[in-house]
Structure 1
Amino acid sequence: MIATSSPTRARPASEIDPRLDAALRYAVAIGAVLVLLLPAARASHAAIGWLPLWLLAMPLAAWWALHRFPLPMRAVTLAASTQVARPRRVGAQARRRVRPAPRRVLPQAA
């Protein structure tokens, strides 16, 4: 029987193909060097669009997906802390205040 892991948890290092991990790491490194050192790599190409997207952002997204989208630790703890139940107020629900209608001032003749 094949054991499946939870989609919300990061894969253990043993489940990730090391060849694919190394290839994506290499693509990210090469893309970062190109974007940082070549001004032409920061431009846009008519056929494929914005080059930093394809040289850096897409390999980074693929590498992140390979590791099943782990969140930074601060974001995980922040999300867990916002789910704490807040104490409810006691008493009746607040009512809207009824504003008195503005008094119409009519012009007066002398």
Structure 2
Amino acid sequence: MDMMTRKASPHHIVFANEKGGTGKSTSAVHVAVALSYLGFRVGAIDLDPRQRTLHRYLENRVATQQRRSITLPTPNFEVFQDDTQARLEQMVTKMSQDCD
């Protein structure tokens, strides 16, 4: 398999800060949507199952598309609801199969 036909490993971008209200979810949403608009296949994992800010925004985006019968570039998204690093790594590996 040559360099042109081999699938590159997806990039992982993490928005993290111990303090709440620093704009992590807002920044993540804007970067994910912008990359989707550029044609990249993007996956987003919300690591806060209680607040679900990123996930709720993207759910609303999908609902808007359906309500208005339009298509908007939208990343695939899930909420991580477990508490082990192994499960998170499994979710990342699964989502990475269809992402750039």
> What TM-score range do you get, normalising by the shorter chain?
under 0.3
What is the TM-score with the length of structure 1 in the denominator? Answer: 0.26
The one of the two structures with greater contact order (alpha-carbon pairs below 8 A, sep at least 6) is 2
Larger Cα-atom Rg: 1
